Amino acid sequence: MKISKRLDRIPPYLFARIDEKIAEAKAKGIDIISLGVGDPDTPTIQTVVNAMHKAIDDPKNHDYPPYNGTKAFRDASAAWMKERFNVELDSDTEVLVNIGSKEAIAHVFFAFVDPGDVTICPDPGYPVYQNATILAGGEPYSMPLLAENNFLPDFDKIPEDVARAAKLMFLNYPNNPTGAVCDLEFYQKAVDFCKKYDILLCSDQAYCEMTYDGYRAPSVLEAKGAKDVAIEFFSHSKSYNMTGWRVGFIAGNKDAIKALGTIKNNIDSGVFKAIQDAALEAYKAPKSEIEKLNTMYKERKEVMEKGLSELGWNIKPSKATFYLWLPCPKGFTSEEFATVMLEKAAIVVPPGNGYGKYGEGFFRIALTKPVDILQKALSRMKEAGISYNMTKEMV
């Protein structure tokens, strides 16, 4: 048996490694607090669950679904884009239903990347961007997201030869893992850059509804001329607490949507129609449901920000996502600090280098535990002497 050589270039998936560490610790009887994976800990909106109960009993939903999604869900997704961002879309040619964003993001590389082609990926960033590039035979270029630039890329610093060779660029705002946000002016710069170099601009909008303090995330498709070069990936996972349902949609440039549709036709058989019925119901959920979730995450965020500030971290309050992106104490690599958190406080946090080389020196906290558990985690850190000002000699 000879495994593909491209798999030798793929590092172990970050969250699979985290799951292994959790399992090992639990096997030893350790009470683990996992602040690792961004998986909501509260139930899916009840009206969505109710719609699923009804849809699953409907025999019309028991056959193969349309590859590009049901007409009803595509129409509803286009209508949501119009209401939310004032973006007009043709639901037949500019909207494609996908099995959650992860599947769709991986597919875009097979649709556009040939062996040796360059892709521009944010670093730190969602590991799938770089790994799917490699699986497609491409060469990822790491586009640095630096604290001094509010974790926004500087397009002017992308080398000319890289820009000319690039087939696609990924952006993700609100951002995982940093929690950074952007404005429409930033998206316009991105669109103009990608037009100049004939690059497909891919915007990952998994967290656009998870925002605080009056911030509302824009869509890249609001930028002038965006549909000439851009597509955007939307997921029901975080906005509606539907991570396990695996449903979302892609919107934008019709040629890119058509190419992705060809990949889907040959690789998967679409999303179960009952799930699409339920996902359609999510659009109808009262805005108060989303506000309730955001209020909950904001409370958790403020508890952690206050507690970490008391432990020496200089906290800049985030405006979106349920992540905190924090520097490790001086002298610690991200792996070393994550190990200290696990061994001294039984807390799991992902090391920043799992998101790319520019993530080194940081770690991420996912606010997917109730306030009392977050307070327990802070108490454990304090009792273990873990602070921003700690040194290796103190461990």
DSSP per-residue codes, 314-368? -----SBSSEEEEEPPTT--HHHHHHHHHHHH-EE--BGGGG-GGGTTEEEEE--
Give the pLDDT confidence of 177-199 residue by residue, as tens digits: 999 999 999 999 999 999 999 99
Q: Indicate the class that CATH gives domain 46-284.
A: alpha beta
* Residue 360 C-beta-side C-alpha neighbours within 13 Å: 5
Phi, psi of 264 (to 5 degrees): -60, -40
List, in order, residues 6 or more apart from 155 with CB less than 8 Å away. 189, 190, 193
What is the C-alpha separation between 17 and 118, in angstroms, rounded?
A: 28
Q: What ranges do the domains of the chain cover?
A: 5-43+288-394, 46-284
8 Å CB contact between 109 and 95: no
Class of domain 5-43+288-394 (CATH, top level)? alpha beta
Residue 129: count of CB within 10 angstroms of its CB: 29
> CA 4 to CA 157: how far, in whole Å?
34
Model pLDDT for residues 131-161, shown as the tens digit of each residue: 999 999 999 999 999 999 999 999 999 999 9
Cα dihedral 168/172/177/179 (nearest 10): 150
What mean pLDDT value characterizes the chain?
95
Q: Which residue, 212, 188, 218, 182, is CA-closest to 201?
A: 188
Structure tokens at 261: 């549709």
How buried is residue 23: exposed, middle or buried, by Cβ count under 10 Å (0-12/13-18/19+)?
Answer: exposed
Q: Tell me what the mean pLDDT of segment 271-293 comes to.
A: 94
Task: Measure Cα distances from 86 to 68, 78, 159, 220 in Å.
Answer: 23, 10, 34, 12
**CA nearest neighbour of 177 among 314, 325, 304:** 325
C-alpha distances out from residue 300 to 175, 297, 321, Å: 18, 5, 12
User: Could you give the CA distance from residue 99 to residue 270 in angstroms, rounded to a whole number?
Assistant: 7
Contact of 157 with 205, CB cutoff 8 Å: no
Q: With cut-offs at 50, 70 and 90, classify the pLDDT of residue 15.
A: low
pLDDT, average across residues 58-70: 96
Nearest to 13 by CA among 158, 119, 134, 122: 134
Task: Please tell me which residue, 79 or 38, carries the higher pLDDT value.
Answer: 79
Q: Which residue has the tokens 């993530």?
A: 359
What pTM was computed for the model?
0.94
Whole-number pLDDT of residue 7: 84
DSSP annotation of 20 reads H
Same fold, 5-43+288-394 and 46-284: no
pLDDT tens profile 212-257: 999 999 999 999 999 999 999 999 999 899 999 999 999 999 999 9
Predicted pLDDT of residue 296:
97
Burial class of residue 87, CB neighbours in 10 A (0-12, 13-18, 19+):
buried
Quickly count helices (H) and strands (E) in the chain: 13, 11
Cα separation, 9 vs 280, whole angstroms: 39
Residue 266 has pLDDT above 70, yes or no: yes
Q: How confident is the model at residue 74 (pLDDT cuts 50, 70, 90)?
A: very high
At residue 139, the pLDDT reads: 96
Identity of the amino acid at 361? G
The H-or-E segment that residue 252 falls in is strand 248-252
Query: Which residue type does 252 have?
Result: G
Identify the three-state secondary structure at position 173.
coil
